[in-house]
Amino acid sequence: MHIDIVTVLPELLVSPLGHSILKRAQEKGLLEVEVHDLRPYGLGRHHQVDDYAFGGGAGMVMMPEPLANCLDELKSRREYDELIFMTPDGVRLTQGLANRLSMKKNLLILAGHYKGIDERIREHYITMEISIGDYVLSGGELPAAIMVDAIGRLIPGVLGDETSALFDSFQDNMLAPPVYTRPAVFRGWEVPEILLSGNTPVIEDWRHEQALERTRQRRPDILTSDE
């Protein structure tokens, strides 16, 4: 999979994309992520990428020309399955959506900044708008990194255990069950005896029931979700 990210602050993405699972995925050649600085496409000697909003109001708006020039160049290099804009008013990023996007070949993510991007770019370039939650951040860089992480770990071969992602929270519309490790007794707190039984079918049934009960208690809304 190839993912391009367009941003005015590429340095914000260096650490999230350069460590742990995402780093290993790129080293294995399973995932390729390129971060593109919008600033060189800016206008004038100062490479301007934002301006005041027509009609007044607080905040600056990312200008259409630098964005269009950058996106046109990237689109000339490859065909994208989706051109995604990270925005608070997009559809909510869910596990189901991450699953679907992980099946794509090429994605382009636009990380907005300031007050947002000129609406004409959204109308004529963007094919999907995604939000990571009902709150506002300073820019789309961290949401873009979160989405790449959510998608990247689902690519076959990225995780050491091929089945690991199948048991994450929100797969099958349930939270993950509780997990335990050694020692079996810590400060008098014991691991459930069933997990020490070695009876795999019984353990899997127990985990399913625990996941279901935890979901009922904490997130009953996702039990009926289509995602």
pLDDT at 69 over 80: yes
pLDDT at 165 over 90: no
Are both 2-152 and 169-224 of the same fold? no
The pLDDT of residue 222 is: 86
pLDDT (mean) for 90-96:
94
**Cα 149 from Cα 16, distance rounded (Å):** 8
Task: For the full predicted model, state whether its pTM sits above 0.95.
Answer: no
**How confident is the prediction for the chain on average, in pLDDT?**
92
pLDDT at 223 over 90: no
Q: Where are the domains of the chain?
A: 2-152, 169-224
CATH class name, domain 2-152:
alpha beta
The pLDDT of residue 173 is: 83
**Cα 141 from Cα 137, distance rounded (Å):** 9
Fold of 169-224: Trp Operon Repressor; Chain A (1.10.1270)
pLDDT (mean) for 134-149:
95
**172 pLDDT tier (thresholds 50, 70, 90):** confident
pLDDT (mean) for 56-66:
94
The pLDDT of residue 114 is: 85
DSSP string, 118-168: -HHHHHHT-SEEEESSSS--SBSHHHHHHHHHHHHTTSTTSSSSTTGGGGS
